[in-house]
């Protein structure tokens, strides 16, 4: 494993359990996630009210393409300049977009054009904001506290998203797109105030050399090619959702339709998956393995078996499999994300984080289409078995990598 230059400590952080600044940041981020979930519901609901289902789908997905095209540029920016300043700038941009949409809709009924504008603008903001935000954990807590940070942050984020989604329907029903945009703008204003007034890095990361943006992207790929451990983590984190996403997003509905379980069964399975994910993330704080990456990759082997199990059996076994998938996803995601933050060269952390996010944007549509095509051409259980088996087989590589078998983020001694 290539030696990683440790961040320079600027101010000693307190133990994680007493770190009020970090706890507050996790809460603020969860509030923002709740606002985003509420806004997503409002955007989708408004789209289906004013456009055909096909056009509504394009509106909701409109932000994906610009985000995918710009993500690597956002990664280069994250590795060059102060991440907090980038986050401040694009939080201001998000608030401006939401205020503009609210004012526009107050003056005239919502149109396809305004919804597309909002989706594309958010996609662009995400492409610059997320790579910088992905480096913040490394700037706030010690390496040994990264799993605890990840467990708390992911649990809070999932709860915020669930709460925002639950409130989203009520808000858009009673206040329309104007109210939903206003509520989300308020949550981003809270984020903006926290970033500007309270959040200060405790560790200074190494910065990338000054070069053109395209050369910076090329340097990122060269770094990926030269560092096996980083490359394995990037591939693993990029592909985390490619097996489970189609199985949950399409597969559960197919099974419920074929078996006559009804739409309520799909909702129950999704709820069990979300509950499992929250409990899986929380469990890391209580039962953290000594070798975090090794434990995370083994959890994904179990997840692969759970994906295959979704394709067979009665409703109760499918529900149990959904819970197991959620639990292993939450558990593995915390451990592997912490390992990623701790082991990737901090001069490349933004670019490597952008690459992991690019996997979903670029490959998920193909994975969804492939799952559906396989289900149409064969029996419904076949794509579950293929995607679950592929997940299990892919884990052989990291599990056989010596660095991950011995790597621990805990302090020595």
At 315-373, the pLDDT tens digits run 999 999 999 999 998 898 888 888 888 888 888 988 998 888 887 777 777 888 888 88
In the predicted model, what is the mean pLDDT of residues 158-175? 80
- Relative to beta strand 8-9, strand 203-204 is antiparallel
What is 261-313 written as a DSSP string? --HHHHHHHHHHHHHHHHHHHHHHHHS--SSHHHHHHHHHHHHHHHHHHTTSS
Lowest mean pLDDT among 93-97, 117-121, 228-232: 228-232
* Selected residue with higher pLDDT from 285 and 190: 190
**Residue positions counted in the chain:** 413
313 Cβ contact partners less than 8 Å away, ≥ 6 residues apart: 321
pLDDT score, position 4: 58
Check residue 17 and report its DSSP letter: G
Summary mean pLDDT of the chain: 86
Residue 93 scores a pLDDT above 90: yes
In whole angstroms, what is the distance from residue 138 CA to residue 128 CA? 18
Mean pLDDT of 383-396: 90
Asked if the model's pLDDT at residue 408 lies above 80, the reply is no
CA distance from start to end of the chain? 21
Most confident of 8-12, 40-44, 303-307, 337-341: 303-307
- Per-residue confidence (pLDDT) for residue 412, from 0 to 100: 54
Q: Is 3 exposed, middle or buried (0-12, 13-18, 19+ CB in 10 A)?
A: exposed
**Closest CA relative to residue 277, chosen from 337, 338, 341, 322:** 322
pLDDT at 215 over 50: yes
Q: Which residues contact 199 (CB under 8 A, 6 or more apart)?
A: 21, 25, 84, 136
For residue 87, pLDDT beyond 90: yes
Let me know: does 304 contact 385? Beta carbons within 8 Å: no
pLDDT at 50: 80
Q: CB under 8 Å to 126, separation ≥6 — which residues?
A: 63, 67
Q: Above pLDDT 90, what percent of the chain? A: 27
Q: How confident is the model at residue 308 (pLDDT cuts 50, 70, 90)?
A: very high
> Does the predicted TM-score (pTM) go above 0.85?
no
Band the pLDDT of 245: cuts 50, 70, 90.
confident
Spatial distance between the Cα atoms of 102 and 88, rounded to a whole number of angstroms: 21
Residue 209: strand, helix, or coil? coil
Q: Is the pLDDT of residue 7 over 90?
A: no
pLDDT per residue over 25-71, tens digit each? 999 999 998 888 888 888 888 887 787 766 776 777 777 788 888 88
The pLDDT-based confidence of 229 (bands split at 50, 70, 90) is confident
pLDDT band at 1; cut points 50, 70, 90 = very low
CA of 135: how far to CAs of 6, 81, 240, in Å?
14, 11, 20
């Amino acid at each position: 494993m290539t030696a990683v230059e440790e961040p320079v400590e600027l101010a000693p952080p307190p133990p994680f359990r007493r770190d009020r600044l970090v706890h507050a940041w996790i809460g603020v981020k969860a509030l923002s996630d709740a606002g985003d979930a509420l806004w997503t519901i409002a955007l989708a609901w408004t789209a289906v009210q004013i456009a055909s289902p096909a056009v509504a789908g394009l509106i909701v997905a409109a932000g994906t393409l610009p985000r995918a095209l710009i993500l690597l540029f956002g990664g280069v920016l994250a590795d060059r300049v102060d991440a907090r300043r980038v986050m401040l700038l694009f939080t201001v941009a998000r608030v401006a977009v939401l205020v503009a949409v609210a004012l526009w809709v107050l003056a005239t009924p919502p149109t396809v054009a305004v919804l597309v504008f909002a989706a594309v603008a958010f996609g662009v903001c995400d492409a610059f904001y997320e790579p910088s935000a992905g480096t913040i954990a490394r700037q706030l807590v010690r390496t040994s506290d990264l799993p605890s940070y990840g467990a708390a942050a992911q649990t809070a984020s999932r709860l915020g998203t669930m709460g925002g989604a639950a409130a989203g329907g009520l808000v858009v029903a009673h206040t329309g797109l104007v109210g939903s945009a206003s509520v989300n703008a308020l949550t981003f204003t809270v984020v903006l105030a926290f970033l500007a007034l309270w959040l200060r890095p405790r560790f200074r990361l190494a910065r990338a050399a000054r070069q053109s943006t395209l050369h910076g992207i090329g340097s990122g790929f060269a770094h990926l090619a030269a560092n096996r451990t980083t490359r394995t983590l990037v591939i693993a984190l990029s592909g985390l959702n490619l097996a489970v996403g189609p199985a949950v997003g399409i597969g559960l509905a197919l099974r419920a339709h074929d078996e006559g379980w009804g739409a309520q069964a799909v909702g129950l399975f999704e709820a069990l998956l979300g509950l499992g994910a929250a409990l899986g993330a929380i469990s890391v704080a209580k039962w953290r393995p000594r070798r975090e990456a090794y434990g995370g990759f083994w959890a994904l082997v179990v997840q692969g078996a759970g994906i295959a199990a979704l394709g067979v059996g009665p409703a109760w076994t499918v529900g149990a499999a959904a819970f197991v998938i959620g639990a292993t996803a939450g558990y593995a995601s915390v451990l592997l994300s912490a390992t990623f933050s701790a082991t990737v060269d901090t001069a490349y952390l933004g670019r490597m984080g952008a690459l992991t996010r690019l996997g979903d944007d670029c490959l998920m549509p193909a994975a969804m289409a492939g799952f559906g095509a396989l289900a149409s051409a064969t029996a419904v259980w076949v794509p579950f078995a293929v995607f679950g088996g592929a997940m299990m087989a892919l884990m052989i590589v990291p599990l056989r990598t010596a660095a991950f078998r011995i790597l621990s983020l805990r302090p020595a001694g």
